[in-house]
Amino acid sequence: MSKKSTVGKSTVERPKAGKPGTAKSAVGKSRIGRSAAEKLKANRASLGHRLAYALRHPGRVPRHLRRTVRDAWLWRRSADHVAYYRAVMRSDTRRDPDLAVGGRSRERWLALGQMQFDYLVRHGLRPEHRLLEIGCGNLRAGWRFIEYLEPGHYYGVDISPDILFAAQDTLQDQGLQERLPTLTPVRDLRLGFLPDGAFDVVHAHSVFSHSPLSVIEECFAHVGRLLAPGGWFDFTFDRTEGEEHHVLREDFYYRTETLTALAADHGLTARFMDDWEALPHGQSKIRVTHAPTPG
C-alpha cells in the first residue's frame, strides 16, 4: 500500500464555502533565464534540448536515465498507454504519493490544490453542484472540493488504484469521511458506468498533460454525455506553440488549436482560459461546454 498522506489538520487552513483563499507563493514562478516564448517553442524531445538541459542540470541526469530505463521496461510490458501509465503511477506512488501527482514538496502540493479550488469557485462552482474529478490522484485539490460541496456531491476517478489508496489516507487525515465522496478506479476514460447529465462540473488537472491524443479524444467522445445542462469541463494541458511532442511517453505537449478542434469534432465548444495564464502554474487551461443548439 502507498505511503500514508501526512496532511495534518493543524497545518492546513480549511477552505470556506464561497470564500476561496489565495494560492500560496510556494507554487513558484517560472524559472528565470529562458523567456516564456522560448519555452513555448521548445521541443523537449529533441536531442539538442536534452543535451542543453543536461548541461544546465547535471545533477538531474542520473535520475532521468533511471526513469528512461524504467519507462522503457514498463512500456514493453503494457498493452496500451493507460496500462503503461497505471504502472508508472504504481511505481511513483510507492515512492511518494505527493511526488506521483507532481508536487515537489508538501507545501507545493497544498498550494497547487488551493489554486485549483480557488479558480473553480471564482468561476461559479457552488456547494450544491455535483463535481466529477478525472484523475483525482491523492486528493490534492479533491479534499477541498469534498469539504466545500454538499455531502455526496464529489466523485473522483483515477486509472491508478494505488493513488486512490493514498486518496483514502488524505480523506481520513482531513476527517472528511462523513462528506461521503466516491472514489473509483477506472480502466479508461469512456466512463460508461456514470449516468447521463450527472455532473455540473467535470475537472481534470494534469491528466491530458500525460495523455496521447487518442486518450484525450476518448474522453471528449464521452464527457459531453455526463455534463448537465449549463455544465462545463475544465482541463489543463502542457502547451506548445512549436512542434507537438512527448517526453518518455509521460509528458505530452499540444497546440491549443489541436485540442479545441478535437473538442469541436465531438460537438463541444472549447475556449482557452486566459485568466488561468496569470496564475503561477506551468500548464494552460481549456474549458469545454456543450455546443450551442442551432436555431
pLDDT tens across 236-271, in order? 999 999 999 999 889 999 999 999 999 999 999 999
Strands 284-290 and 227-239, by their bridges, are antiparallel
Across 4-13, 27-36, 55-64, least confident range: 4-13
Distances (CA, A) of 187 to 12, 102, 212: 33, 21, 16
- Residue 3 belongs to some domain of the structure: no
Task: Please state the rounded mean pLDDT for residues 177-194.
Answer: 97
Q: Do residues 247 and 44 touch, judged by C-beta distance below 8 A?
A: yes
Q: Which residues contact 62 (CB under 8 A, 6 or more apart)?
A: none
Sign of the alpha-carbon dihedral angle for 33, 38, 39, 43: negative
pLDDT for res 79: 92
Q: Do residues 141 and 133 touch, judged by C-beta distance below 8 A?
A: yes
Task: Please state the rounded mean pLDDT for residues 124-139.
Answer: 98
Instruction: Give percent of the chain above pLDDT 90.
Output: 68
Per-residue pLDDT of 64-92, as tens digits, reads 899 899 999 999 999 999 999 999 999 99
Q: Which residues constitute the domain of residue 279?
A: 36-290
Element (H, E) at 239: strand 227-239
| CATH number where 208 lies | 3.40.50.150
Closest CA to 7 of 98, 100, 95, 119: 98
pLDDT for res 294: 66
Strand partners, 154: 131
- Residue 21 belongs to some domain of the structure: no
Across 65-79, 115-129, 199-213, least confident range: 65-79
Query: Could you identify the residue written with the cell 504519493?
Result: 97
Q: Within its chain, how far is the Cα of 15 from the centroid? A: 20
- Residue 20 belongs to some domain of the structure: no
Q: Give the total residue count for the chain.
A: 295
Total structural domains within the chain: 1
pLDDT for res 34: 56
- Residue 28 belongs to some domain of the structure: no
Across 19-23, 124-128, 169-173, 276-280, least confident range: 19-23
- Residue 152 belongs to some domain of the structure: yes
